[in-house]
Structure 1
Amino acid sequence: MSLHLVTDVHTEINKTFPTNSYFVSGTYEYYHYLCDGFDDRGWGCGYRTLQTICSWMKHNYNSAHNVPSIREIQKILVELEDKPESFLGSRQWIGSFEVCLVIDKLYDVPSKIIHVNKGDALETILESLCNHFEKFGSPIMMGGDVDCSSKGVMGVHKDGVNSKLLIVDPHYVGKEESKEFLHRKGWVKWQPLQDFLSTSFYNLCLPQAKPHCKDK
């Protein structure tokens, strides 16, 4: 199935904070609920964020692999013995650890996992996120437990207590995919750090791949 998904949905909104900001480098496609006709509403957000990261890998790092379907992702995790056979065809969600495994399997790229405990301020990892975008520029996967919805992080604005993350939310259902629409409806947004829940832990997956390395 040939998909025509909108690319680089954070552009334009990234101009909101022209200084002290760090962003993903290179092109990616915006994967979200139902974007390929497969109904994953309520459980597929981790898969969709992984697909967005895989599209970045395909465009910028290694074009040998197509973006895997949700079923193909599940098959990889079963083959790696991370999940039982019953996982294949299920509606079980995945998080940052599973995303790390699939990226390593498909692209031979390790990922750094950052864990933020409940009650800890996200400010403590802000420097690590800025360094990641400066050094690698790949999209980041973010998931939690109470705030269990997975999301993509495509940028950081550093401004003390007013610092923000540039979030690309895979929970959108629909066919209107203009950047202006996605920004206006909040599917792509700057989210202040204080808006994240202190009652939730957060796991972040930071793929350690630099862009423009296809011939490496």
Structure 2
Amino acid sequence: MERLMTRAHDAAVYPLHVLQRHNKTISIVGEAALGALPMTGGSCMHQLVNCTTELGPFMADPPAVEVAFTWCARVSFSLSRTLKRHCLVVKHVSRGIVISALLEGHGNDADAEQAAWADVERSTELWKAPSTGASTETLHVHMRSVPDVPDTISHSLDDMPDTTSQAPLSSRVTNRVLLGDSAREIVSEIRQLFGRLLGGEAESLADTEVCWPACMLFPVNVHTRDDARRRLEHAALLLPYEGLLHHQDAIQAWSTWDDLRRQHEANKASVFRIGAAWERHLATSPHRDLAPASAGSLPGTETLLTSGDYDYYHYRVDGFRDDGWGCAYRCLQTVLSWFQHAGLVRAPIPSIRRMQEILCQVDPDKANKKSFVGSCDWIGSFEVMLVLQHYCPGLECTIKRLESGGDLDTDASVQILLADHFRNPRAAPVMIGGSSYAHTILGIHLNAHTMEAQYLILDPHYSAYPTQLKTAIKKGYVGWKEASKFFEASSWYNLCIPRVNLFDPR
């Protein structure tokens, strides 16, 4: 809602659809998001608004504190018009009641469909109205088309036919979620969906998953493997493009909003520290303690910095002596700490030995070198990327080769590459590793016309335990550097740039 309020006067967001339930506004979304919403049919009042004036009355109505519904059905289906036998399983989660039925014939066989549904609706225990004050009634509904369905369907669902291997003509397994105020309403919703799916709609649907993110008052159907469609859905739901619809925010039991709120609070409460004494001395985002006079001051420039927070890891930061060889490991720890503060990594920062163990798992060259774990061997930008991808599967990194440190001073393409990176709303620190040293780049001060640039450098070669930030700053381990004076023209370098703007953590 806050995001909508900031964009309410932007004509580009209209038309918008307002959905109300029990006279409470629970959703204001763009048209492209309607297919992702579970509130369909008569379960919600629907209003189209085309301007700020029309939206005003609905903005005055605060969003519902909780979603007002009594029944919630999570539907999983894989159906085909070409197959003649279909099975339907309805399971009441909290009561442990399971009803199954077989449907013989094509989807347009109304008699067969009516007979199957009559068997399901005949179960009074399954559809018994909840008592006053009881929690939401939760159903799991499974719909499958298979060449050969056994006459007796397992109520445990463990031996349900494998649609991938046995029914190649079926649609891919897809999920939906339906909400209702009564058993009659939820049955009607499921029957309508079943009919549409048998009519061929299932074959045209992209596979989806159901999430209920803590930032929304209702569950949504999301396309997790189609980035273009995901971005359209985020825009229509008036959400930022970064991945907010996480698997971890999906409620497996599909009970109530209160359950999600408690889960979300528990997630926020989980910390990534391990309680070690040295962690108390970690310096967070030390560049913010720099004196204003030390900032870059080139004429006609723009200053672009890493977003969010990070922790300063350097030689001996945890008491472990790695002077002379551990600089790249410390840069990696610094970059990983940014992912922690951004909420993308919850695991504690790995020790140098743990990073070596991970590299032995993911890098064949290291796996064949039995002496690597526990050694003082250097690592570079490629190994940094591998460890980042271990903690953030699917993360893309740009590895940029520089034949000379002078490229940072004279090569406009390198300067623009870094400027574009730090211009992103979520810009992680960049690791730069050379033939001799490794450092972390936190920002760039750039005049693109004259190719003049200064770089905000976090230097891991500061050696102390515990960290004395004032000393580190005074000695120049945190600060702005001129490339021609700081980077060696006779050395090659590799940049490791995490592409967080393309990262979907789900």
TM-score scaled by length of structure 1: 0.90
Stretch deviating more after TM superposition (71-80 or 191-200): 191-200
The aligned counterpart of 2:371 is 86
Between 1:107-116 and 1:173-182, the stretch displaced more is: 173-182
Kindly indicate which of the two structures has a greater share of residues assigned to strand. 2
Q: Tell me how far apart the structure 2 counterparts of residues 100 and 69 of structure 1 sit (CA, whole Å).
A: 16
Partners of 2:303 and 2:451 in 1: CA distance = 15
**Counterpart contact for 1:162–1:193, Cα < 8 Å:** no
Partner of 1:7: 284
Q: Is the 8 A contact 1:143 1:204 kept in 2?
A: yes
Instruction: Please say which structure displays the higher CA radius of gyration.
Output: 2
**Structure ranking higher on relative contact order (CA contacts 8 Å, 6+ apart):** 1
State the alpha-carbon separation in 1 of the partners of residues 353 and 285 from structure 2. Answer: 25
User: Which segment is superposed worse, 56-65 or 72-81?
Assistant: 56-65
SS of 1:47 mapped into structure 2: helix
Contact 2:433-2:439 within 8 A present in 1 as well: yes
Give the stretch that moved more between structures: 171-180 or 39-48. Answer: 171-180
Cα deviation, 1:25-68, whole Å, max 9, x if unaligned, reads 01100001111111111100000000001111111042322111
The correspondence for 1:199, drawn from 482, 490, 495, is: 490
How many angstroms apart in 2 are the aligned matches of 1:106 and 1:60?
Answer: 13
Contact 1:63/1:214 (8 A) holds in 2: no
- Tell me the percent identity: 37
Asked if 1 retains the 8 angstrom alpha-carbon contact of 2:392 and 2:505, the reply is: no
Structure 1 residue identity aligned to 2:398: K
Q: Is the CA contact (8 Å cut-off) linking 1:117 and 1:202 kept in structure 2?
A: yes
User: CA RMSD of the aligned region, Å?
Assistant: 2.2
> 1:31 pairs with 299, 313, 316, which one?
313
Aligned to 1:189: 479
Partner of residue 461, structure 2: 171
Deviation (angstroms), 1:110: 1.7
Q: Mark the CA change 1:214 to 1:184 in structure 2 (over 3 Å): closer, same or farther.
A: farther
The answer to whether residue 421 in structure 2 is matched with residue 142 in structure 1 is no
| Contact 1:27 1:59 (C-alpha < 8 Å) held by counterparts | yes
8 A Cα contact 1:167 1:189, kept in partner: yes
Cα 1:120–1:172 shift into 2, 3 Å: closer
Q: Distance in 1 between matches of 2:406 and 2:315?
A: 30
Alpha-carbon separation, structure 1, partners of 2:374 and 2:468: 31
Q: Tell me the equivalent position of 2:421.
A: 132
The residue that corresponds to 1:17 in the other structure is 296
Report if the CA contact (8 A) 1:61-1:214 is conserved. Answer: no
Cα distance in structure 2, aligned partners of 1:143 and 1:208: 17
Whether contact under 8 Å (2:319, 2:465) holds in the other structure is no
Q: Could you list the runs of 5+ residues in structure 1 that have no partner in the other structure?
A: none
Q: TM-score, normalised on structure 2?
A: 0.40
Write the distance in 2 (CA, Å) between the matches of 1:179 and 1:48: 16
SS at match of 1:11: helix
Query: How many Å apart are 1:176 and its aligned residue?
Result: 6.1
Secondary structure at the counterpart of residue 500 of structure 2: coil
Other-structure match for 2:350: 68
Q: How many residues align?
A: 212
Gaps of 5+ in 2: 1-275
